Amino acid sequence: MTNCVNSREVGYKDLVKIAVQLNSETDLNRLLALIVREGNALVQAERTILFMLDHENHELYSKAWSGQDENEVRLPVGRGIAGMVAFDGEPIMLNDAVNDPRYSGGLFGHNVQSILTVAVKTSDGSITGVIQCLNKVAGSFEGADLELLTAFCDLAGLAIERTTFALEQKRLSAQLIFQAKHDALTGLPNRLMLEESLEKALEDAKRKKHQVAVLFIDLDRFKMINDSLGHTVGDALLQQVACRLQKGVRFTDIVARQGGDEFVIVLSVVKNLQSVNRIAESLLKALQEPFIVSGQELYISASIGISLYPTHGENVTEILRHADNAMYKVKDQGKNNFRFFVKDMDESEQRRLWLMTQLHKALELGELLLHYQPQVDIEQAKLVGLEALIRWNHRELGLVSPGEFIPLAEETGLIIPIGAWVMEEACRQAVEWQNRGLPPVRVSVNVSALQFGRDDFIDTVLHALDKSGLDPQWLELELTEGLLLGDTHSIAAKLNQLKEIGVYLAIDDFGTGYSSLRYLQQLPIDTLKIDQSFVRTLGTVQESPKTKALLKTIAMLGHNLDMRVIAEGVETSQQLDYLEEIGCQEIQGYYISRPLRVQELEGFIRQGGWVSRLNKPGAGRNVIPIQKWA
Ligand code: C2E
Ligand code: MG
Ligand code: MG
């Protein structure tokens, strides 16, 4: 007998100490090692093994050994001594193993004679593992050893349970943290984590005095693919994009998904601009390679805006915003490219860029509408025309002035679809008014140089007329002088074609453009619209004899060339008087009416209140009776 009463007393006392030790161990592997070590010492075994239960496979596997580790052993629950204990939880003590029918031998070396095997249970009594103590000497365990080890196993079970639970908690909270900071679709860091990581990268760069680059990447045709092929395809594409982006940068750089089809890359250590250029170029190239999603080839491209720390910004917000700005600039300039932020983009530039992106959506969101401003014949006190003036009712900003967004639309090329829409809508409205019984008046539509210059401009006009059914004589196109410069021959040809169709042609803002009067004689123009800047000074302290002379000349010129002359921006009766005096027969301006919404216009026409403003004693007689329009 190797065990003596004395050592067992020590064993019981030790149990308390062991309990404290087990309880203070937080690492599962260290805990298991401690269990086999202490269990072994407790019953004075030569070797002790801890098996854990693999619930899924209904197997035990050796997890910890006192002394040297050995290869993992697996045995089915119910088979072998340990398997049997794991099966019903009843301990087994063998003191003459080789002669015991339950012992099939062979498992743990040779000469094992005494085996003490006890189940390890959790607080609810379920078995989580088995401890097996071995001795080469037969008859080395007694009932007291069994009791001691059983008590020990209960402690061990609780300790394992506590540690595993803590571990699981830790794992769960780590998972939650991961989820909060990562994008579920691509597994990339999300915006939150991006901001944190960028913050760190910037701090690092400040200390070590190097640069950081932020690349804001927006896919160019993603929306179209997503809308036409469905979200599943879109999602798979985004995942592949995420992979390509990650492959395109160093392990230490950050690739994050900002949301939608926007990604952000942080190059945390930048040595020189060339390296950033190279990376941006290679990313663009990588994204141009076809993607295979559900068996079909998809092609996209990307627009990349880049900002640098410290050149383009000092903090996370600034750096990200500037990279974003630069990205929009790329979009506006034809996409599939990259560019660096330009530092002197000021507030107004930023608003401009933002408006550009908003304008893209304005048409499809139905935010564009037309107001109409009356044009009247002074002599006859008659409404002769309505100028269609576009309005953009932005959902957040309210009305944005065309003075602000038309130049943007021209810069981005959006003026083409917008212009086509204006033409169609104005024609449609004109026909609707005629159908409602209002006498026909000419509707004037402003045409931008970019629209006019296109080969399909005539088609656009024809299409609008066709679609609405408007008789061409009720449509007037307002062209600016600048638009008539260039290849006189082709311009003349286009204007002649338009005249053949039967629409009217006006020169808008006349007098402000290039003062080549030759075109007036050569081109088939019907109307001169005197720019408001000349009219505005009339009757004010700025009124000058020169301006007055100029106005007079224009009026005469118009007469002599057999053109209508209309003055824009007439606000006062003095202005009206002077214009009448010099023989300008038509006016448009706040004095008669501001541009009106469609709903207001009918009232304006029916009531005819403006006639009295013409201040002409005999006006009533010449007026086309307004009442008849009703
Ligand atoms: P525009 O064609 O010369 O239009 C006349 C502008 O003068 C309009 O400004 C009108 O509201 C304003 N106005 C009229 N009477 C008075 C007045 O008595 N006093 C003052 N101070 N202003 C007056 P709006 O509507 O802001 O349009 C500005 C410009 O935007 C237009 O100048 C035109 O060049 C352009 N625009 C408007 N709609 C369109 C469009 O559908 N297509 C294109 N390409 N350009 C458009
Ligand atoms: Mg105009
Ligand atoms: Mg004008």
pLDDT surpassing 90 at residue 415: yes
pLDDT at 11: 63
pLDDT at 626: 42
Closest ligand 1 atom number to CA of residue 445? 41
pLDDT at 506: 96
- Report the separation in Å between the CA atom of 451 and the middle of ligand 1, taken as the mean of its atom positions: 17
- Which position has the higher pLDDT, 549 or 515? 549
pLDDT category at 360 given cuts 50, 70, 90 is: confident
**Ligand closest to CA 389:** 1
In angstroms, rounded to a whole number, what is the distance separating the alpha carbons of residues 490 and 496?
A: 10
pLDDT category at 166 given cuts 50, 70, 90 is: confident
- Which position has the higher pLDDT, 91 or 228? 91
This model's pTM is above 0.75: no
Dump strand ranges (E) for 395-489.
398-400, 442-446, 475-480
Side-chain-side CA neighbours of residue 417 (13 Å) = 11
The total number of residues written for the chain in this structure? 630
Pick from 233-237, 249-253, 563-567: least confident: 249-253
In angstroms, rounded to a whole number, what is the distance separating the alpha carbons of residues 628 and 606?
A: 9
Q: CATH 3.20.20.450 spans which residues of the chain?
A: 354-614
The first and second tokens of residue 126, run together, are: 């379920």
pLDDT surpassing 70 at residue 91: yes
Closest ligand 1 atom number to CA of residue 588? 15
- Which position has the higher pLDDT, 461 or 516? 461
Is residue 271 within 8 Å of 210, Cβ to Cβ?
Answer: yes
pLDDT category at 622 given cuts 50, 70, 90 is: very low
Side-chain-side CA neighbours of residue 509 (13 Å) = 13
Q: Which class in CATH covers the domain with range 191-343?
A: alpha beta
Q: List, as one string, the DSSP characters of 211-279.
A: EEEEEEEEESSHHHHHHHH-HHHHHHHHHHHHHHHHHTS-TTSEEEEEETTEEEEEEEEE--HHHHHHH
Smallest CA separation from ligand 1 atom 46, residue? 446
- Which position has the higher pLDDT, 619 or 527? 527
Q: Which of 470, 483, 472, 364 is nearest to 421 (CA)?
A: 364
pLDDT surpassing 60 at residue 8: no
pLDDT at 627: 42
**Ligand closest to CA 512:** 3
**Burial letters 230-262, b for 16+ CB under 10 A, else e:** eeebbebbbebbbeebbebbeeebbbbbbeebb
Pick from 41-45, 68-72, 173-177, 485-489: least confident: 485-489
- Report the separation in Å between the CA atom of 550 and the middle of ligand 1, taken as the mean of its atom positions: 22
Residue of 363, 386, 389 to test ligand 1 pocket, by largest number of atoms within 8 Å of CB: 389
Q: Which of 124, 123, 149 is nearest to 135 (CA)?
A: 149
Dump strand ranges (E) for 310-410.
337-340, 368-377, 382-394, 398-400
What SS3 string covers 171-230? HHHHHHHHHHHECCCCCCECHHHHHHHHHHHHHHHHHHCCEEEEEEEEECCHHHHHHHHC
Smallest CA separation from ligand 1 atom 15, residue? 589
| Average pLDDT of the chain, as a whole number | 89
Residue of 446, 566, 593 to test ligand 1 pocket, by largest number of atoms within 8 Å of CB: 446
Mean pLDDT for 415-420 is 95
Smallest CA separation from ligand 1 atom 7, residue? 569
Q: CATH 3.30.70.270 spans which residues of the chain?
A: 191-343
- Report the separation in Å between the CA atom of 529 and the middle of ligand 1, taken as the mean of its atom positions: 12
- Which position has the higher pLDDT, 43 or 439? 43
Q: List, as one string, the DSSP characters of 116-148.
A: EEEEEE-TTS-EEEEEEEEESSTT---HHHHHH
Residues in contact with ligand 1 by the CB-under-6-Å rule are 373, 389-390, 401-403, 406, 419, 422, 446, 448, 478, 508-509, 532, 568-571, 589-590, 595
- Which position has the higher pLDDT, 454 or 412? 454
Smallest CA separation from ligand 1 atom 23, residue? 569
pLDDT at 335: 86
Q: Which of 48, 41, 33 is nearest to 116 (CA)?
A: 48
pLDDT category at 472 given cuts 50, 70, 90 is: very high
Is residue 268 within 8 Å of 204, Cβ to Cβ?
Answer: yes
- Which position has the higher pLDDT, 11 or 258? 258
CATH topology of domain 2-178: Beta-Lactamase (3.30.450)
pLDDT category at 516 given cuts 50, 70, 90 is: low
**Ligand closest to CA 477:** 2
Smallest CA separation from ligand 1 atom 35, residue? 402
Q: What percent of the chain has pLDDT over 90?
A: 60
pLDDT at 605: 85
- Report the separation in Å between the CA atom of 534 and the middle of ligand 3, taken as the mean of its atom positions: 11
- Please name the helix (run of DSSP H) or strand (run of DSSP E) that holds residue 92, with its range, or none: strand 92-94
Q: Which of 42, 83, 45, 46 is nearest to 61 (CA)?
A: 83
| Nearest-5° Cα angle at 145, 144 to 148 | 85
- Report the separation in Å between the CA atom of 366 and the middle of ligand 3, taken as the mean of its atom positions: 25
In tens, the pLDDT along 561-585 reads 899 999 999 999 999 999 999 999 9
Q: What percent of the chain has pLDDT over 70?
A: 93
Mean pLDDT for 356-379 is 91
| Nearest-5° Cα angle at 513, 508 to 518 | 90
- Report the separation in Å between the CA atom of 419 and the middle of ligand 2, taken as the mean of its atom positions: 13
In angstroms, rounded to a whole number, what is the distance separating the alpha carbons of residues 278 and 168?
A: 45
Helical axes 191-208 vs 316-332, angle rounded to 10° = 110
Closest ligand 1 atom number to CA of residue 591? 18
Smallest CA separation from ligand 1 atom 34, residue? 446
In tens, the pLDDT along 533-543 reads 999 989 887 88
The CATH number for 354-614, chosen from 3.40.50.2300, 3.30.70.2740, 3.20.20.450, 3.40.50.300, is: 3.20.20.450
pLDDT at 127: 94
- Report the separation in Å between the CA atom of 1 and the middle of ligand 2, taken as the mean of its atom positions: 115
Other beta carbons within 10 Å of 380? 16
Q: CATH 3.30.450.40 spans which residues of the chain?
A: 2-178
Coil vs helix vs strand at 294: coil
- Which position has the higher pLDDT, 375 or 630? 375
pLDDT at 371: 97
In angstroms, rounded to a whole number, what is the distance separating the alpha carbons of residues 588 and 532?
A: 10
Distance spanning both ends of the chain, measured CA to CA: 124
- Report the separation in Å between the CA atom of 533 and the middle of ligand 3, taken as the mean of its atom positions: 10
- Report the separation in Å between the CA atom of 303 and the middle of ligand 3, taken as the mean of its atom positions: 37
In angstroms, rounded to a whole number, what is the distance separating the alpha carbons of residues 24 and 17?
A: 11
pLDDT at 184: 92
pLDDT surpassing 60 at residue 296: yes
In angstroms, rounded to a whole number, what is the distance separating the alpha carbons of residues 397 and 355?
A: 10
pLDDT category at 303 given cuts 50, 70, 90 is: very high
Closest ligand 1 atom number to CA of residue 570? 18
pLDDT at 344: 61
In angstroms, rounded to a whole number, what is the distance separating the alpha carbons of residues 571 and 6?
A: 117
pLDDT at 623: 42
In tens, the pLDDT along 181-200 reads 999 999 999 999 999 999 99
pLDDT surpassing 70 at residue 607: yes
Residues linked to residue 115 through DSSP beta bridges, in sequence order: 94, 134
Residue type, 342: V
**Ligand closest to CA 388:** 1
- Which position has the higher pLDDT, 347 or 517? 517
- Report the separation in Å between the CA atom of 248 and the middle of ligand 1, taken as the mean of its atom positions: 50
